[in-house]
Structure 1
Amino acid sequence: MFRHGCCCEEWHKTMRIVVYVIASLVHGLVLVSTALPY
């Protein structure tokens, strides 16, 4: 399924996107939780 050589490149790209999305979600949650007057 994966050719040796391009699989690592795709994996790193996918992981970068996943980490970026998770970081954005966490950042948004922190902003919302600090903005709400609880």
Structure 2
Amino acid sequence: GILWTGEAPKVTELEESMGVYFNMLNGLLLLCHG
């Protein structure tokens, strides 16, 4: 309910940050090995 609604934005921010970090890591690996 209320707790989940309050936590949701933080989780979304974390997921977005992890996604960006993962994409950067992938790009770095491609640059190094490609």
- Measured against the shorter chain, the TM-score band is 0.7 to 0.9
Identity of aligned residues (%): 12
CA-based RMSD: 1.2
Find the structure with the greater CA-based Rg: 1
Unaligned runs of 5+ in 1: none
Q: Normalized per residue, which structure has more helix?
A: 2
Unaligned runs of 5+ in 2: none
Task: Give TM-score, length-normalised by structure 2.
Answer: 0.80
Distance across 2 between alignment mates of 1:29 and 1:20: 14
Task: Give TM-score, length-normalised by structure 1.
Answer: 0.73
